[in-house]
Amino acid sequence: MFERLGFMGWSVGRGRGDITTFIPGIVMLGYGNPKNTVTEVETPLTARVFWLESESTSEHFLYINLEVCFITQSLTDAIWKEFQNEFSALNIPRKNLMFTAQHTHSAPSGYTHYALYNVPTEGFSPQVLNTIVQGVSTAIKQARACMRPSKVLLKRGSFPLSTDVSFNRSLEAYNANPEVQPKLTTEEQNKAVDREMRILEIVDDEGPSGIIGIFAVHPTNIIWTNHLISPGNKGYASLYLEDHFKKKGRKDYLAIFAQGNAGDVSPIYTPKWFEHMIPKSDQEMVEKSKANGKLQYLGALDFLNNEGVELEEGSIDSELIYIDMSSITCDQKHISPQLKGTNAVTSPATLGVAFMGGAEGAGIGLPLKILCQTLITCVRIFEYLISPLRSKRWRTKVFRKYRSQSPKFIFVETGEKKVLGTSKIMSLVIPDFADQSIRYFKKIHKMGGAGEHSWTQQILPIQISILGGYAFIGIPAETSTMAGERIKNALYDVLKERVKEVILCPYANSYCGYITTPEEYEHQCYEGGHTVFGKWTQPAFQTKLCELATEMLKPKEERVLDKSLVPPQFSESELKVRTLENLSLYPGT
């Protein structure tokens, strides 16, 4: 039967699970604002899973998309443990699972073991983590239980410029890239983004059964004054498309609207940001999010009518390795011509004052920003002045930090566990009430909960999964429009003898902030301040991904991959210090 229908030997299952953690008073993740607390659930959060199996080789690949802000190492570790308990007999390696987030800013925080990204809710929440893990496990089991022969098609379509779905929020930085000619004006922000949606459509004997749609736009129609849990514009797009097919009789249709190179992409046109920042009711913001989600849904519905290319049945080839991003020397071929010859080396993670200032107006105010910049300048001068008195190792580290991170005003050194240049957090001159992160780090430092490992993840996963002649690239960060384009093009140059196209999957497997180009980094917009490994972050990722891609040109048994490097594990004692043990601190629990 399936041969007559032209099916190519894939078996595909679909599953969903609820991952909503309702803790009144807990802070949401995305804006880092302590006022962004939960009071109600507007729309539940969902985990969606596609399980693909090659019928000829019996190899498996799982694409897992979560309605959370980003993926964390603690989350993937816990889900993998559950997966092994349930499906160990299938001998599926971890590298054949790709975890992605659609990046809603309206979901609870607290599900990472790294200290920095628990600042919003001031601690690690086992309840949030466990709820997500159980929901994902439910979705995976459901997907395995409904496997059926299918074909997989790649379709695509571009939103016309008249559709107000996405805009570049950091146009000054984007225009700094030499590829941008002529330079774009404020009125042309909608041209400074990737307007194409790439869609994997799954079709079985009953017809269309689901999609994975990849399109770049932040879910920031809802700002930090919100108190309603919701999946953001991409979550609403999923619900609209699923409801559309449900009305057509396909009740089990599954729609994933995943992220593309959305690092500098907003759903808001910049001149309207001031209007956007005027306080509105939570429901008003939700309606704006739904409106943007409807644009994405209608676009996908239209693009599904376009002719697709069928993914060839064959082996599933996936590799995942960890790299230490705190110290990578970039291959000069990944450096822009005007920057070649520079000693392009990354350094341990730092966050800049531009990060503290927030994206789209969500951070610290101007007076505190100026104070921080003044203190940071003093710290830098002091470190240079005392360098002749310090060891060679100390001097090398400090000089590399400033070469790599300049012109960033370094607020927090998450790699070296320092704030404003000192590891003695309790001695900071900035008072607790001035900034939430200062208060949090003083608190956990005093309790002995900030000493074991870096405050953000530095040993990070990169993944390349080749399915049916297409390479899907798992990147643990938010790529800017141009940074993603450069990485994609470089990888295609390596893999073109094996694949028809390279498709980036940002927000995958873990999280380390942003990836901007060196030219964008110089402008220190929010994205540059949150590019933690410094100016050379993009060519560093590009270097390591191309090295991995080169190995994947070889037969599997001949590849030389260092898989000994893995992220550190936090001890139970340190996690206990940073755990929200008494959730009754939140009103209503």
Percent of the chain with pLDDT over 90: 79
Percent of the chain with pLDDT over 70: 93
Q: How far apart are CA 358 and CA 341, in angstroms?
A: 33
**Cβ atoms < 10 Å from Cβ of 424:** 10
**Residue range 550-567: average pLDDT?**
96
**Do the Cβ atoms of 124 and 48 come closer than 8 Å?**
no
Q: DSSP string of 151-213?
A: EEEEEEEE--TTS-S-EES-HHHHHTSTT--SPPPGGGGGGSS--EEEEEEEEETTEEEEEEE
pLDDT of residue 423: 85
Dihedral pair phi/psi, residue 378, rounded to 5°: -65, -40
What type of residue is 328?
A: I
What type of residue is 105?
A: H
**Cβ atoms < 10 Å from Cβ of 247:** 9
pLDDT 10s digits, 144-193: 999 999 999 999 999 999 999 999 999 999 999 999 999 999 999 999 99
pTM score, whole prediction: 0.94
pLDDT 10s digits, 338-350: 888 788 999 999 9
Using the predicted structure, report yes or no on whether residue 71 has a pLDDT greater than 60: yes
pLDDT of residue 483: 98
Alpha-carbon dihedral of residues 24, 27, 31, 36, nearest 10 degrees? 40
CA nearest 172: which of 422, 354, 373, 399? 354
pLDDT of residue 187: 94
pLDDT of residue 369: 79
What type of residue is 72?
A: T
Q: How far apart are CA 165 and CA 169, in angstroms?
A: 13
**Do the Cβ atoms of 147 and 60 come closer than 8 Å?**
no
Token digits for 423? 């590891």
Residue 311: DSSP 8-state: P
More confident call, 365 vs 519: 519
**Residue range 368-384: average pLDDT?**
87
Residue ranges per domain, the chain? 10-322+458-558
CA nearest 100: which of 202, 268, 234, 227? 234
pLDDT 10s digits, 20-31: 999 999 999 999
**Do the Cβ atoms of 118 and 458 come closer than 8 Å?**
no
Using the predicted structure, report yes or no on whether residue 422 has a pLDDT greater than 90: no
**Do the Cβ atoms of 414 and 349 come closer than 8 Å?**
yes
Q: How far apart are CA 412 and CA 434, in angstroms?
A: 15
Q: DSSP string of 483-534?
A: HHHHHHHHHHHHHTTT-SEEEEE-SBSS--BEE--HHHHTT--HHHHTBTT-
Cβ neighbours for 34, distance < 8 A, ≥ 6 positions apart:
27, 120, 122, 436
pLDDT 10s digits, 196-205: 999 999 999 9
Mean pLDDT of the chain: 92
**Do the Cβ atoms of 525 and 172 come closer than 8 Å?**
yes
Using the predicted structure, report yes or no on whether residue 355 has a pLDDT greater than 50: yes
Which secondary-structure segment (H or E) carries 466? strand 459-467
Confidence of residue 425 (pLDDT cuts 50, 70, 90): confident
Using the predicted structure, report yes or no on whether residue 567 has a pLDDT greater than 80: yes
Alpha-carbon dihedral of residues 567, 573, 577, 579, nearest 10 degrees? 70
Lowest mean pLDDT among 70-79, 96-105, 302-311, 377-386: 377-386
pLDDT of residue 2: 42
Chain position carrying tokens 């736009």: 217
pLDDT of residue 368: 75
pLDDT 10s digits, 500-553: 999 999 999 999 999 999 999 999 999 999 999 999 999 999 999 999 999 999
CA nearest 216: which of 284, 159, 174, 288? 159
Using the predicted structure, report yes or no on whether residue 587 has a pLDDT greater than 70: no
Report how far Cα 111 is from the mean position of its chain's Cα atoms: 14
